[in-house]
Structure 1
Amino acid sequence: MTSTRRLSLVNDGFHEQRPKRQIGVLRVAIATQDMRGLNAHFGSAKRFAIYDVTPDAWSLVEAVVFDDVSDESGTHRADGDNNIAPKVETLRGCQLLFCLAIGGPAAAKVIAAKIHPIKVPQPEPIDNVLARIRTMLRTAPPPWLRKVLAQAGAAGKKASFEDEE
């Protein structure tokens, strides 16, 4: 059985679940070992930093910690445990997932949860990833991001994302 710990940031009062995502806000999960960089494979990520991102700002919503993870070869520490499903369930509600690598079965489960996985070729600071997302939101989002925004109901004014003809 996989153990999961959550650290959620709240402004007022106690919430048992992560704050609801606001309309027009993109919720992004980043696979990390140290909360500073995008530097983990999906299966071996000990932590996921979850951010809300708008064209103007980003804010950390939650940090999720997993005790039992696979190594980077995809081999799980405890035989027979399914470590993918708890991670996918924990990330439900995010629109994007950034990681260094993700296997086919895990990617299928992530996509089925309506989370768009994005593999990044090498580690980089989380701030760089978030800044790049903000730039894409402010300018012309690529087609894959327009689709994510439309599916999430966060597209805002649709006309701003339509291709000019």
Structure 2
Amino acid sequence: MKIAFATTDKVNINSDFGSAEKFDIYEISKYGYHFLDTICVEKQPETTQYGYKNKDNILRVNKGESDTDIATVIDALNDCTIVYTTSIGAVPAAKLIKNGITPMTPELDQEKITGILDRLLIAVKGNPAPWLRKVLQRENDRTQ
């Protein structure tokens, strides 16, 4: 399963969804986890360009949180099962959920990505909490 983390430093979850400039993508399974990619979000003052490319390329969106901007970011994160941010508004959270992506916020204001991944790995290997079981089942259904 792929997990996205809103980060400015590749170490901590330290950006909210609407202002995140980077999402680091990791893949996790019961065998471990590894870094896959970074999606960069470049806020454009006024443009009609939409689209994204992976591997440290740039996702261009207009400033603000219009439906089109949110949809563009969600489209870039579409392969992810979970997205961790420091905070997220109700509209983007609902749109993520509608697209089968679970929005999450860490318990601390700034938490290490590896700390979250380590805890998720333990849960995936053992007896996951109900919310994680549901996410894992949805991921399993998605891949079949």
Q: Name the TM tier (shorter chain).
A: 0.7 to 0.9
Larger Rg computed on CA atoms: 1
Give the Å deviation of 1:55. Answer: 2.2
| 1:116 equivalent in alignment to 2:66 | no
Gaps of 5+ in 2: 45-61
2:2 counterpart residue number: 27
Overall identity of the aligned pairs, in %: 30
TM-score by length of 1: 0.69
Kept in 2, the 8 Å contact 1:43–1:83? The answer is no
Equivalent of residue 127 in structure 2, options 140, 154, 157: 140
Q: Does 1:106 align with 2:92?
A: yes
What letter matches 2:89 in structure 1? G
Q: Where do 4+ consecutive residues of structure 1 move more than 4 Å?
A: 78-81
Pairwise CA RMSD: 2.0
Q: Could you tell me how far 1:78 is from its partner in structure 2?
A: 5.7
Instruction: For residue 90 of structure 1, report the CA deviation from its aligned partner.
Output: 0.3
Which has more helix, going by share of residues?
2
Aligned mates of 2:84, 2:67 — CA distance in 1: 24
Following the alignment from structure 1 to structure 2, what is the Cα–Cα distance between the partners of residues 87 and 80? 11
Deviations 1:2-51 (A, max 9, x none): xxxxxxxxxxxxxxxxxxxxxxxx21011111211111101111100011
Indicate conservation of the 8 Å contact 1:98/1:120, yes or no.
yes
TM-score (norm 2): 0.78
Structure 1: state its 5+ residue gaps. 1-25, 70-75, 155-165
Equivalent pairs counted in the alignment come to: 123
Give 1:110 deviation, angstroms. 0.5
2:67, 2:127 → 1: CA distance?
42
